[in-house]
Homo-oligomer: A and B are copies of this chain.
Amino acid sequence: MTETDSSHADQTVTADDVAEAAGVSRWTVSRAFKKDASISPKTRAKVLAAAEAVGYLPDLQAASLASERSNLVALLIDDFNNPHKLVMLERLTRVLRKNGWDTLLVNTLDGTETNHALLSASQRRVDAAILIGLQFSDALLNAATGARRVKKLIIFARSSENANTISISVDDREAMREMTAYVLSRGYRKPMFLAGPDTHSAHLRRKETFVELWQQETGVQPEVIGVESYDSNLAYGIATQTLKGRARADLPDVLVCENDALAMGAIDAIRHEMNLRVPEDIAVTGFDDVPQAARPNYQLTTYRQPITRMAERLVEILQNAENRDDNCSFLGEIVVRASA
């Protein structure tokens, strides 16, 4: 039916059709769509007009088959519980798209499927794999770097010393230095640190930094508790379990949390389990500045990572062919709200 309908052959418009319409060769059409190609301005204009007329757009699959670039990146994520991931997804996809990259979303949550997922991504000839997950084991990293066709491995929003790996992250040490200074400046003296799980390959140095600096500044070792995943409910449970029933004098005056998810769980526990006030009885700080942190009932003092700038840096790295491992770190800023 539609095959004989040649009035507008929208079935599949190829460069040949455009070439015929514009009265040039197919290769000239190809050049018209390529920036910095050797083609005269008027020919390009003529070709682009013809392309517009017949409704042509280059086929990126075919293009990446023929060239060595795919302009496609894989985004590997294994934690869908933290709203901060949504923020990163939004920023990354937006910035990448704006610069001509498409994004393959790969869920590596299911551990047994992780390698398979990674290989699957490599089967799509991605120019890079970007990890924004938490639990990338060394096995995963090795699988990734070993995977053929994955040219670059980029760890986003985490730092890593692993070789063959580029990491783009906030400077956790400097961030915690600022946060520690802030907490001290507000007069808090009995802190407790609420930490997330320890991961090996890509690490947040927040806990170590806080403990070290606090010790250094006050001579006192701060109390530290931890949860085994960045989950608000777990934080709620651990905070309740640790603090509820303590004598008032034994309670911390500030709870410094490794990220906002933990902080929000802790705030809920303090209020709803212990009937205490934030920040009057116990102050709380977070990290990430997720959208929920600004909610009127949290008003969380936290640290904002410059995700957009980090994403833009990512694009620069993608554009550079050379694979020198330029790990780069950024500075964010404390966002002071009512919680501390």
Q: Which residues of A contact B (CB under 8 A)?
A: 10-13, 55, 57-62, 64-65, 70, 72, 75, 80-81, 83, 85-87, 89-90, 93-94, 97-98, 102-107, 109-110, 113, 117, 119-125, 146, 148-149, 232-233, 236, 265, 268-269, 271-273, 291-292, 294-297
Contact = CB atoms under 8 A, between A and B. Distances in A.
For this chain, the copies found in one complex come to: 2
Interface centre among A59, A61, A93, A272 (most CB of B within 10 A): A61
Nearest to A12: B148
A98 B80 contact: no
Given A61-B64, A98-B113, A268-B295, A106 B121 contact: no
Contacts of A98: 113
Given A98-B113, A232-B295, 15 more contacts: A11-B148, A13-B148, A58-B123, A59-B149, A60-B120, A61-B124, A62-B65, A80-B89, A89-B105, A102-B106, A233-B296, A236-B295, A236-B297, A265-B295, A268-B297
B70 A80 contact: no
A314 B93 CA distance: 24
Contacts of A146: 10
A26 to B, nearest CB: 17
21 contacts: A12-B148, A12-B149, A13-B148, A55-B148, A57-B123, A60-B125, A61-B125, A65-B65, A81-B86, A86-B86, A89-B89, A89-B105, A90-B107, A93-B107, A97-B113, A97-B120, A98-B113, A102-B120, A103-B104, A105-B105, A233-B294
A236 B75 contact: no
Nearest to A75: B105
Contacts of A103: 104-106
Given A61-B61, A86-B86, A105-B104, A94 B110 contact: yes
Nearest to A11: B148
Nearest to A120: B102
